[in-house]
Structures are given as structure tokens and as C-alpha cells.
Amino acid sequence: MKKSQKSHQQLPRMEQPLAPGERDVRRVVSIDRIRALIGSSTNPTFIQHCQAFIESFESGDLVVEFCTSKKSWRECMGRSGFLVERQGTVVFELVTRFN
């Protein structure tokens, strides 16, 4: 088993990263998911992006995890990550995986 697979299996079910489906998928998550990314990263640039994401968050905003469809991944256009959504408008995007 690969190291990344093993670490995902240790997370509670609701903390599992989204997997590509037949369609783009989204779910609302806690801002704590972004704080956890900071704690698990050693990449200073990524940590800065995570901190900027947190700083952009205002009361009433939603943090949305997203993953594009299997088709987008097959066509080398796949992306997943997190959005700050304010009154239905995306105000910040943090991409955590792409191909």
C-alpha cells in the first residue's frame, strides 16, 4: 500500500478526500480542514496559500471542497481543492491536486 493511501485510511470517513465521480462533486466542510492542511505540509508556498485562504474567510462564508469529474482527470484537466464561497460567489480557490 502506498504511503498516501495509508494516511487517507487513517482519517475519519468524513475527512476522506473527495474522489472523482461521473460528475464534478462538491461538499461543504469546516475551515478546520484548511488548518489541518497547514499542519501536515512542509511546503512554505502551500502554507502561505492556505493562510491566505483562511484570511479570506468571513462569517457566513462556506468552505466547499471540490473535485472535478473522472472525465476531466482522464483528459489531464482534473482539479480538486477548496473554495471560499460568499453569497453564492467564489471569492478564493485553493487547488490541492491537479493533472
Grid coordinates standing for 55? 484570511
User: Whole-model pTM?
Assistant: 0.80
d(CA 73, CA 78): 4
- pLDDT at residue number 15: 64
| 13, part of any domain | no
Which cell numbers in the block locate residue 6?
A: 495509508
Per-residue pLDDT of the chain (99 residues; tens, 9 = 90+): 444 444 444 444 446 778 888 899 999 999 999 999 998 889 999 999 999 999 999 999 999 999 999 999 999 999 999 999 999 999 999 999 999
pLDDT recorded at residue 5: 44
58: containing domain: 19-98
Is 90 among the domain residues?
yes
Domain tally for the chain? 1
- For residue 47, the model assigns a pLDDT of 95
> Other CB atoms closer than 10 Å to residue 95's CB: what's the count?
12
* 12-36 b/e (C-beta count within 10 Å ≥ 16 → b): eeeeeebebeeeeeeeebeeeebee
